[in-house]
Chains A and B, each alone.
Chain A
Amino acid sequence: MDSTTNIASNGQATKMTAKDLVTDQEVRWCPGCGDYSIIKQVQTIVPELGIPQENIVFVSGIGCSSRFPYYMETYGMHSIHGRATAIASGLKAARPELSVWIVTGDGDALSIGGNHFIHLLRRNFDVNVLLFNNEIYGLTKGQYSPTSPQGAVTKSTPMGSIDHPFNPLALSLGADGTFIARSMDRDPKHLQEILRRANAHKGTSFVEIYQNCSVFNDGAFFIYSDKETKKLETLMLEHGKPLIFGETGDKGIKLDGFKPVIVNVNEVSANDLWIHDDHDAVKASILTRFFDDPKKENHLPRPFGVFYQEDRYRYEDAMAAQINEAISKKGEGDLDKLISGGETWLIN
């Protein structure tokens, strides 16, 4: 029996399917919410990963996206605001063999949970972080979030937000994240591919997913998915391929020193274009800064795909290694020896 096989009631082994991952709970997201697409893509790819269903755990914090675990027929915990990352760290440290997925939002991960988020990245636990970024607080009904653009008019900012927003990918790169990617709810194929790669990466895989909040911030990212604008506004990253975008793939990015410039691909030699290398941290940090307001003239397109990945030791492996080392050096702990300590004396 292979690892993704379930035993049906008739005793026959069956392959796990997307349907097996659906729970009996009624899904309560608003109609048109981007979360529907994201859960669908997750349920599509998880059965292909070769992980036994019972070894999968989804942990979330608080927010609309954090309802996610209730709808996944795996182990799951819907925790408290901002702490999914911290809970998942303990879970993974204790049981490295589990496949741990963190579902969080822009408020959950970057505001109230910001501290745990950066520390998770530096420790590099082998977990997947899916950050549903909708640039708004949905569950509390429409306040600006740490990713809302400056000037955003929301319930709590009637005169426009005066907060400078976070750039989540630059932040995670700064925190020494080892897998940094962006995708979106409205590009299912791309999202599936990124999720597969996130799972394959050994270490903390951070995936920012642009997610439409149809109620409080509808259309915030449509510019990256609508037919009319998509080609001009998005830059789909592929390792080893040049950075090309535009209506007919006519535009490219060239590095002028450390400065990215948009060029007409027909006017430069192919060798002059920036070739995406997802192991290059310096270039990745420039890529994360492709973060212009699309309303700005001559703005750079927004990149999607894997910005950066690196193989670095995982916290849980190092922790297990120290335990093994201690056992091989000192032998399995002997409780009586421990309790009696170094020096004892007898009283008759």
Chain B
Amino acid sequence: MVIRMAGEFNVLEHELVPEYHLLSEKEAEKVLKQLKLTKDQLPKTRITDPCIRTLDAIVGPVEEGMVVKIVRRSSTSGVSICYRLVVRG
């Protein structure tokens, strides 16, 4: 799913960068309902973050208020999933 952009390094391909998934409005709602959270209780990530900008270039426009799912390797649980709210910055 990751496409290299012309002459640019794709940060999402770096082995130290975790997987990023953009959630649709519906998916985000489902996740929030599941976790019994409101959007403002989620951890944040800036829209200017290189990962978010790359995501924006690959899977379409990422806007303020959208939720991304981040999957990373964990030394304690194998895989750990977390969600972040995209904010201005």
To the question of whether A and B form a pair in one complex, the answer is no
